[in-house]
Amino acid sequence: MHSKIKLFPYFQPIISVANGKIIGYEALARQRDSNNNVVSAGWLFSSRDLDVEQRTELDRQVRLQALQKFAELDSNTYLAINISAAWIDNLKQLNALPTLNMLEELNIDRQRIIIEITEDHVELAKLTEIVRRYRKQGLRVALDDFGAGYSQLQRVMAIKPDIIKIDMRLFKKATKGGIAGEVVEMMTRLGKRTGCQIICEGVETEEEFLFGLNCGAQYMQGHLFAPALPDFKVPQLYDQHITSLRNKFLKNTVTRIKNKVNAIANTKELIYRLAERLQGDFNLNELASWNFAKCGVIRFYLCDNAGYQLSPDFNFSEDKWFTDPRKIGFNWSWRPYFFQLLALEQTGDRDRIITSERYRDFSTDLLCKTLSLRLDSDRILLVDITASE
């Protein structure tokens, strides 16, 4: 079977959202089917019909062809080549890195090559050493298909990749919100803090592109622009398309943020009004007539200056208030919305409402935020509200 297999590389553009240009390509293996159509050959590299040596030889053949063609490209773009972690695990000598030999023979600038480590089980110490050797030779390293398999966070910490490519299945789930959306946003925040670049793979629709922008991804790859192609394209090919999408994102986001700011202003006005009423005796039934539901208020409660909860939870549901005393005596001084309020007061910044990050409320399973405000010299008001995805 092996001798009859003819593989060749295609190249999928990777596009910068900042300047709209093609900044690189991923080399992907292709073959012709029985009808002479070009199809993906990715399945071969996990096929049980081929042993490890045969799969490795095919992989190197495609890689060499890709590098030979890339060597003729006169631009500043880079080439990403996939190397299976399972293949790395089969290396008998860590010093034998065929890709480095190919780059030497073809006289390719190693700074223009990215090694994409695909998700397979591999001994972490060996993977870390291989990555160290690639980097020592001037190559960058990407972790491919993040979110699609084995111990990704462990790998991120071990190899400290230059690039993380979000798995297309995870990315598509993330566009619908939920925990997948939180994971993608977490990864983009991690990328910003560590200098690791984020590429979203499998971008096929405008909605997915705009979601990637909202997460802060710097680069996009997918059929919205182009599938893998046999030839390289001019870097400016998708410039106008990217410009149009960025403009749409800006317009939509400004409108969304404006509406959000207005909603926050209404909520804060309600909370200041609530704080004023709580200065003395208050009637829960009277408060039920206020516009709490529209502002997304779930509950409020009072704490002392040490963070101990003094009051029951006053829970709001279906235009009615209910008291729940179970958390009286709990201490919330370790929550950022509490100690940040005290810190600002000590710098002379008073009467400000402090807002927490979004979190999932245990009792309601709603996505929430907590707002804190100084009530009087002895008490602090905390209000839990729903938060948008």
User: Which residues on neighbouring strands pair with residue 220, listed in sequence order?
Assistant: 15, 200
* Best mean pLDDT range from 202-216, 240-254, 285-299: 240-254
120: pLDDT confidence band, cut at 50, 70 and 90?
A: low
Task: Say if residues 161 and 194 touch (Cβ distance below 8 Å).
Answer: no
Spacing of C-alpha 32 from chain mean position: 35
50: pLDDT confidence band, cut at 50, 70 and 90?
A: confident
Q: Which two tokens stand for residue 295?
A: 């502002």
Domain 259-386: which topology?
Beta-Lactamase (3.30.450)
User: Does the pLDDT value for residue 257 go beyond 80?
Assistant: yes
Of 152 and 168, the structure prediction assigns the larger pLDDT to: 168
Question: For residue 146, what pLDDT is reported?
Answer: 72
pLDDT in tens, 200-229: 989 999 999 999 998 888 999 999 999 999
User: Does the pLDDT value for residue 349 go beyond 70?
Assistant: yes
pLDDT in tens, 157-189: 788 889 988 888 888 888 887 788 888 888 888
User: Does the pLDDT value for residue 283 go beyond 60?
Assistant: yes
Q: Which two tokens stand for residue 147?
A: 């979110």
| For range 37-44, the mean pLDDT | 90
Q: Residues of the chain with pLDDT > 70: what percent?
A: 93
Best CA proximity match to 165, nearest among 191, 152, 146, 186: 146
Of the listed ranges 79-93, 244-258, 354-368, the one predicted with least confidence: 79-93
Of 100 and 305, the structure prediction assigns the larger pLDDT to: 305
For 376, counting Cβ atoms within 10 Å of its Cβ (0-12 exposed, 13-18 middle, 19+ buried), the class is: exposed
Can you give the pTM of this predicted structure? Answer: 0.82
Question: For residue 174, what pLDDT is reported?
Answer: 85
Of 146 and 272, the structure prediction assigns the larger pLDDT to: 272
* Best mean pLDDT range from 281-290, 299-308, 346-355: 299-308
310: pLDDT confidence band, cut at 50, 70 and 90?
A: very high
148: pLDDT confidence band, cut at 50, 70 and 90?
A: low
Question: For residue 152, what pLDDT is reported?
Answer: 64
User: Does the pLDDT value for residue 335 go beyond 60?
Assistant: yes
Question: For residue 189, what pLDDT is reported?
Answer: 82
User: Does the pLDDT value for residue 57 go beyond 90?
Assistant: no
What value does the mean pLDDT of the chain take? 88
Residue with structure tokens 């039920």? 288
Residue 303 — left, alpha, or beta (φ > 0 → left; ψ -120 to 50 → alpha)? beta
Could you give the CA distance from residue 39 to residue 10 in angstroms, rounded to a whole number?
A: 10
Question: For residue 94, what pLDDT is reported?
Answer: 54
pLDDT in tens, 64-94: 999 999 999 988 899 999 887 666 656 655 5
Strands 22-32 and 38-40: antiparallel
Spacing of C-alpha 152 from chain mean position: 13
Q: Who's near 182: CB < 8 A, 6+ residues apart?
A: none
Residue-by-residue DSSP string for 96-122? --HHHHHHHHHT--GGGEEEEEES---
Three-state SS for 374?
A: strand
Question: For residue 159, what pLDDT is reported?
Answer: 82
Question: For residue 273, what pLDDT is reported?
Answer: 93
122: pLDDT confidence band, cut at 50, 70 and 90?
A: low
User: Does the pLDDT value for residue 47 go beyond 60?
Assistant: yes
Please name the amino acid found at residue 169: R
Could you give the CA distance from residue 113 to residue 77 in angstroms, rounded to a whole number?
A: 9
Question: For residue 149, what pLDDT is reported?
Answer: 53
1: pLDDT confidence band, cut at 50, 70 and 90?
A: very low
| For range 278-295, the mean pLDDT | 85
* For the chain, domain boundaries: 2-232, 259-386
Task: Say if residues 355 and 385 touch (Cβ distance below 8 Å).
Answer: no
User: Does the pLDDT value for residue 334 go beyond 90?
Assistant: yes
Could you give the CA distance from residue 384 to residue 301 in angstroms, rounded to a whole number?
A: 9
For domain 2-232, give the CATH superfamily.
Answer: EAL domain (3.20.20.450)
User: Does the pLDDT value for residue 291 go beyond 60?
Assistant: yes
Helices marked H in 278-335: 284-287
Could you give the CA distance from residue 25 to residue 73 in angstroms, rounded to a whole number?
A: 11
User: Does the pLDDT value for residue 96 go beyond 70?
Assistant: no
Of 153 and 180, the structure prediction assigns the larger pLDDT to: 180
Q: Give the CA radius of gyration of the chain.
A: 27
Please name the amino acid found at residue 360: R
